[in-house]
Amino acid sequence: MKKFLKSYCVGFIISVLLCGSVYAATYFASSDVTYDNGVSGLKSENVQDAIDELYTECTKEPTAGETIIENAVLEKDPYECRYFFTGANPNNYVTFNGEKAGWRIISVECDGTIKIIRIKSIGNMAWDTSNSSNWARPASLNTYLNETYYNRLSSIAQNQIISRNWNIGSITGWDNDLANQVNDESSITWNGKIALATVSEYIRSNSNKSGCGTGKLIENDYDNDQICKNTTWMITNNNWWTLTPDDSYQAYDVWGDGFFSNYYCEYDDAVRPALYLSSDIKITGGNGSQSNPYQISL
């Protein structure tokens, strides 16, 4: 291919398909060739290097995120550049830290990282023993997760985790506009390895957008809790902490019946760690079902 392009560029047009996008290059006598990478978005500065770059991109092994998005047919979130698993029981199980099917995928991010949450609680504890709703202070649960709990993970698991910005802004829980909640959560960020899922992530995991797609809708269904409980996979039998605070001394927790509410940070509640897997992670087996969870490796 390289020899042909260098020696026989004599007047033809080719199109190269890369991951759903078409790039076109026009070839004339080699002395007349011009190339504009501003059109293609490639890094290469000449035609030959562009062909090599496209070939490398199209033949490299897909990342775990790319594989999951394609196989699970996930739809892009309208609020952020993310792809969410929704519904009562999607195939989003993953083996992490040697815990077979012990974690589930919340979302695949557009940067290739994957956010996962532990299915079972690691125990009941306070969000913050000093009753502060500032996660970055740091809250006592922040310290526990990023020191004590992190150090208990296997070295393989630790290498698969990345530090990332987490949305820790406070919200008004019963807002009828999910976009407002997403914006409020993202108004403040904290960088770290392990934290919790947010309220808006819990809401977005629900496939019943018309009945359970905002905090206000979930509140209205409090007396008919089976509606929102049965259309999301994130429900457990325990009440569990989210990462999202209100504007006082409380943070929100999700109830076993599908409702969520603010709760004093100094009180104990179930803790389900969440974390981001590196964009370099690859899928080495499994289909995401509980009996055959995704297997991952770097």
| Mean pLDDT taken over the chain | 85
Model confidence at 223, pLDDT cuts 50, 70, 90, reads low
> Which are the contacts of 2, defined by CB distance < 8 A and separation ≥ 6?
48, 52
Please report whether residue 133 resides in a domain: yes
* Same domain, residue pair 42 and 115: no
pLDDT at 51: 75
pLDDT at 224: 61
Counting the structural domains of the chain, the total is: 2
What is the residue range of 239's domain?
Answer: 81-284
Distance of CA 148 to the CA centre of its chain: 24
pLDDT at 131: 95
Bigger pLDDT: 147 or 257? 147
pLDDT at 247: 81
- CA distances (Å), 169 to each of 41, 95, 186, 264, in order? 35, 30, 6, 17
- Rounded Cα gap, residues 78 and 225, in angstroms: 26
Query: What pLDDT, in 10s, does the model give residues 167-202?
Result: 999 998 888 899 999 999 999 999 999 999 999 999
- Rounded Cα gap, residues 171 and 182, in angstroms: 9
Task: Show the CA angle centred on residue 30, arms to residues 28 and 35, nearest 5°.
Answer: 75
- Rounded Cα gap, residues 204 and 260, in angstroms: 13
pLDDT at 175: 85
Model confidence at 79, pLDDT cuts 50, 70, 90, reads very high
Model confidence at 226, pLDDT cuts 50, 70, 90, reads confident
* Same domain, residue pair 55 and 194: no
- β-pairing, 21-27 with 12-18? antiparallel
Please report whether residue 292 resides in a domain: no
* Same domain, residue pair 113 and 207: yes
pTM (2 decimals)? 0.81
Bigger pLDDT: 184 or 54? 184
Radius of gyration from C-alpha coordinates of the chain: 23
Please report whether residue 64 resides in a domain: no
